[in-house]
Amino acid sequence: RCPLKESNMVSRYRKEFLELEKIGVGEFGSVYKCIKRLDGCVYAIKRSKRPLAGSSDEQLALREVYAHAVLGHHPHVVRYYSAWAEDDHMIIQNEYCNGGSLQDMLLENAKLGQYLPETELKEILLQVSMGLKYIHNSGLVHLDIKPSNIFICHKMAVAGPAGQEESDSEDEFSSGVVYKIGDLGHVTSITNPQVEEGDRRFLANEILQEQYCYLPKADIFALALTVALAAGTAPLPHNGAMWHHIREGNIPPIPQKLPHLFLELLKLMIHPDPVERPSASALIKHPVLSPSREKAVQLQKQLNVEKCKTAMLERELKAARLAETLMKDQTLGSAKLQESETSSKQNSKRLVGGKSCRSVSFTLGY
């Protein structure tokens, strides 16, 4: 790995991007909403703290870049575009999520005394599980799943050719919101882990015990607590009796009524034994979540069927109109032909009559 070094080059950041506003501050540094001058698109630019070279922050920065390089593109992972070092700062160009973070949403809800409803909690659990499945199948673990690292994209609807609204999102979800996993600074390999502990409030006990046999299950543990916070549970403790109580397999109190099966699933996700926790793949197929997903998929299928029916009817109507036009042309042509034949016969009769020999009598004398 090459350490970051100070550069005297003209700032690429200032040259290529127009900074609009600061939209976040975190462990890594600050995040800015920027417009790229070349394409006019909006991006989220992460700029690391100073000094970076040789520090632990440098390792987090490089780890995030390497993780993005391995993962590529997935609809439930914040998209990575580019990264470079500049004046002892690491700068990362990522996808801009127009809905902010889940943490931002929860803070707003707390001010209003509101909680996310069951349907939305299931959407979060389902979609983040999809992102985790992709990360885990790529041989990596996130190790810092929490509300501030889950980002929200509101699906943009554009007018279709027939005035219909079409979504530009790659997935169809009933809520109209796509949840994405971001901040990959703690990502590490499953088979050769170099664990940098994330937020203690969301940390599974086995990670603290340096038991790394079931690293993906630590992400499942953190996801359950993230959903509990979205459901309205009180802020999680950093340590103490309640911290240990949670790690004994107890979901912290949730101030809204949720189905028993849903609560049991969350409880299973924080089971003290990581082996007992479901995998991300199992969560996606879980009966508690699949009806929501199946409904969205079924509605999309029905819509596709209706579109096919409409297209077929349009083709049949077009064919019928074409056939009608051909029949009219044929009828008209036939009528003209018949009229022509009738006229021809009449002319022929007159012509025959003109050539008829009249009776002539000749008297021959001998």
Active site residues: 144
**Per-residue tokens: 230:** 């979205």
Quick check: 262 and 308 in contact, CB under 8 A? no
Residue 146 marked in a binding site: no
Q: How far is CA 364 from the centre of its chain?
A: 116
Q: Which residue from 1, 63, 76 is spatially nearest to 27, judged by alpha carbons?
A: 63
CA separation for the pair 280, 282 (Å, rounded) = 5
* Pure H helices in 152-259: 205-208, 215-230, 241-246
Quick check: 63 and 187 in contact, CB under 8 A? yes
Question: 48-56 long-range contacts, Cβ below 8 Å, gap at least 24?
Answer: 48/89, 48/90, 48/91, 50/88, 50/89, 51/88, 52/4, 52/88, 52/89, 52/90, 53/3, 53/4, 53/5, 53/6, 53/88, 54/3, 56/196
SS3 state of residue 55: coil
Report which residue type is found at 313: L
Q: Which residues are annotated as a binding site for ATP?
A: 46
Q: Which residues are annotated as a binding site?
A: 46
